[in-house]
């Protein structure tokens, strides 16, 4: 597997927290940071997709969000507003 080796700088408290989180996850710091970066990239891609979708189809309604949360298992129907 090839990697893009790079150096990053973090504030000391962020570096300590990242090392502790990687330890808790049983991962090396590089793997933990790589997953964090990948998660951020996925979130940005989702934001871009939703912006484009809403430009075409209109704003997503609160009812649609509730239905999606139920279908995805984030809430049950009896928890719906």
pLDDT digits (tens, 9 = 90+) for 3-58: 999 999 999 999 999 999 999 999 999 999 999 999 999 999 999 999 999 999 99
Please give the C-alpha separations between residue 40 and each of 13, 28, 31, 43, in angstroms, as whole numbers: 20, 19, 14, 5
pTM over 0.85? The answer is no
Decide if 2 is inside a domain: no
Range of the domain at 61: 12-79
**Tokens describing residue 56:** 């075409």
Decide if 30 is inside a domain: yes
Decide if 7 is inside a domain: no
Per DSSP, the three-state class of 57 is helix
Decide if 1 is inside a domain: no
Q: Residues 73, 77, 78, CA angle at the centre, nearest 5°?
A: 125
Please give the C-alpha separations between residue 60 and each of 24, 38, 48, 53, in angstroms, as whole numbers: 37, 26, 14, 9
Domains contained in the chain, number: 1
Decide if 4 is inside a domain: no
Decide if 49 is inside a domain: yes
């Amino acid at each position: 597997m090839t990697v893009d080796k790079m150096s990053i700088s973090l504030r000391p408290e962020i570096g300590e927290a990242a090392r502790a989180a990687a330890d808790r996850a049983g991962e090396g710091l590089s793997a933990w940071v790589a997953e964090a970066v990948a998660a951020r990239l996925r979130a940005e891609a989702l934001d871009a997709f939703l912006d484009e979708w809403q430009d075409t189809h209109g704003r997503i309604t609160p009812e649609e969000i509730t239905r999606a949360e139920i279908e995805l298992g984030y809430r049950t129907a009896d928890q719906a507003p």
